[in-house]
A and B are shown apart, each in its own frame.
Chain A
Amino acid sequence: MDLELVLSAAALIGLAVLIPALMLVTAIFGPRAKGKIKDEAYESGIGATIGVVDQKFSVKFYLLAILFLIFDIEAVFMYPWAVSVRELGWFGFIEMVVFMLFLFTGLIYILQKGVLNWR
């Protein structure tokens, strides 16, 4: 038990120290070639886009992120139920169905209002 703990802790600390250390080492000692074209920021060949931030983002992306967040939370609540489903039996199953039904109505609303239509 102790040995396991020591080893895993050592491995975690090792990773946490090693990765930044290696990045630092390569940044300092790594070979580097400079040039006018090489120093340009990589923008898939389109040079003039840098610095133009006027374009507003569509709110749809944000809505998607929010919806993802909500269903993510739902998934988190399913996890403990899934682990203890045998102990809880049918009662737990019914509770979970009610839980899912509420979120399903949310999904109906989303679909009906056409939030997921991408035009």
Chain B
Amino acid sequence: MMKTLFSADGLVGLLFLFNLIVTVVGGIVACNAERLVRAVIGLVVCFVGVAGIYFFLNSPFIAMMHILIYIGAVAVAISFAIMLAAPEEKMRTGPTSPLSGPIGLISTLLLISGLVSLALKTEWTSVTKINDGSVKTIGIQLLTNHSMVFELISIVLLLAILGALVIARGGREE
């Protein structure tokens, strides 16, 4: 069946493409911005795109989580960190080798082509649907099959609280 742009699939494809563009553009801005704050904004845009990709991968919960945590909180934390450190607005400091650009590009391309060919050449077993991926199923799985992970996560979070305070407190007492 020929798929046109104006069928349902076509529009979804267009939307997916749009998502990809948002992700890539955000990533490029994040890497190349002159000012750190702009890089953070680029990162946020990139996160939005990634959340969209999660949505397309049929996991709306992860997409929501991504928006809530990464855009809602991580970006804010990074912005505060930038304001806290008040770094000099000079991005390129110190001598960089003229070869670093090409080498980076080549290794990136190698990595990308390797991963892509790996994904394409592997015979993936025909997708057996394990569950419907709804938030309800995730909740049940998380608190039964993965209950150990669930409880350990709370300890990890506790550790994060204590660690952040212990490390930052040293800077506070003057």
Contacts and interface: CB of A to CB of B under 8 A. Distances in A.
B144 interface: yes
Interface in B1-18: 6-8, 11-12, 14-15, 18
Nearest to B16: A9
Interface residues of B, number: 49
Interface in A70-119: 70, 72-77, 79-85, 87-88, 91-92, 95-96, 98-100, 102-103, 105-106, 109-110, 113, 115
Given A84-B136, A88-B143, A16 B18 contact: yes
Contacts of A74: 154, 157
Contacts of B169: 113
A63 to B, nearest CB: 5
A68 B155 CA distance: 17
B172 interface: yes
Given A59-B172, A113-B169, A5 B164 contact: no
Contacts of A100: 154
B37 to A, nearest CB: 11
A80 B73 contact: no
Nearest to A77: B153
A13 B14 contact: yes
A102 B154 CA distance: 6
A59 B138 CA distance: 37
Contacts of A57: 80, 83-84, 86
Contacts of A96: 143
Contacts of B8: 2, 5-6, 9
Interface of B: 6-8, 11-12, 14-15, 18, 61, 64-65, 68-69, 72-74, 76-77, 80-81, 83-84, 86, 135-140, 142-144, 147, 150-151, 153-155, 157-158, 160-162, 164-165, 168-169, 171-172
26 contacts: A2-B8, A6-B8, A9-B8, A54-B86, A59-B171, A61-B80, A61-B84, A62-B81, A65-B80, A66-B164, A67-B164, A69-B77, A70-B160, A70-B161, A72-B69, A72-B73, A77-B150, A80-B61, A80-B135, A84-B135, A84-B143, A87-B136, A88-B143, A98-B154, A102-B157, A103-B161
